[in-house]
Amino acid sequence: MRIKMWGVRGSIPTPGAGTVEVGGNTSCYEIRAGETLVILDGGTGLRLLGQELVKEMPFEAWMFFSHVHWDHIQGFPFFTPAFVRGNKIHLYGGLNVSRTLEETLAGQMDYPSFPVHLTEMGAAMTFRDLYEGEVVTIGPNDDVRVTNARGNHPNGVYAYRVEHEGKVVVYITDSEHYAIVDPKLKKLAMGADVLIFDAMYTPEEYSGEVGGGPKTGWGHATFVAGCELAKAAGAKQLVLHHHDPNQTDAMVREKEMRARELFPNTIAAREGTVIEI
């Protein structure tokens, strides 16, 4: 399996001199599992991935959305391959909002918000709404297994476990941890080769000691919670994801360094980083 990071920021894109190293695009990960192309979330990083995938057209891809807040869907209207006939895109999302995934993606492209409607995109698209705990088998050879679990976030969120030939990638974004490690997420992450985790805040930012007030109830976690989950689940590597828009490159490096004191095999997510399993 091969993972490439196209968008690692949370809440809103953050271009600028202070975020060049880590990157300013919002959530999007590419996973190559054998012959299967898996895309996790459609934040603004999806636009860059789309430019790369133009070289491979026509192709078939399986997209999984954690949820439909703006920073996880804003790249979809700018995903060039979705406008090209011959491409096949299977889109999955949780039944955790008032509208289906298809209705939500179409809604952000309605007039006057966007000039081109979803129905005008040329690729063949199929939509599938997932139930909590559902397992789907995907890929041209049906050899990739994707399991979900609910996280803790306003309006709901799904975390995903992607398995192929004994290798496991787990993607947990926008999920707040409380007094204990979430048992559902621990089960999902057990034995993961790579655990991608929403470590948006430092403990001081989360508590409100710095950064303008407490973030309790906002639906995001700290790097400490990520390290605790990685230890409890026996994960091999931890990736700190969904960096706060106010965190500069230097602040992310410091967060990464502090996390390594708790769980040594930790890296901060950075655009362009590739992990081979």
pLDDT digits (tens, 9 = 90+) for 33-86: 999 999 999 999 999 999 999 999 999 999 999 999 999 999 999 999 999 999
Instruction: Spell out the domain ranges in the chain.
Output: 2-276
Phi, psi torsion values for 216, nearest 5 degrees:
-60, 130
pLDDT, tens digit (0-9, with 9 covering 90-100), for 202-212: 999 999 999 88
pTM of the model: 0.97
Q: Give me the mean pLDDT over the 180-208 stretch.
A: 97
In this predicted structure, what is the pLDDT of residue 98?
60
- Please state the CATH superfamily assignment of the domain spanning residues 2-276 in this structure: Ribonuclease Z/Hydroxyacylglutathione hydrolase-like (3.60.15.10)
What does the mean pLDDT of the chain come to?
Answer: 96
In this predicted structure, what is the pLDDT of residue 196?
98
Q: Give, to the nearest 10 degrees, the angle between helix 249-262 and helix 223-233.
A: 40
Give the pLDDT band (50/70/90) at residue 178.
confident
In this predicted structure, what is the pLDDT of residue 97?
54
In this predicted structure, what is the pLDDT of residue 271?
98
Find all residues with CB under 8 Å of 121, minimum gap 6, and list them: 82, 83
pLDDT, tens digit (0-9, with 9 covering 90-100), for 84-124: 999 999 999 987 556 788 988 999 999 888 999 999 999 99
Instruction: For residue 114, give Cα distances in angstroms to 77, 106, 117, 125.
Output: 8, 10, 7, 19
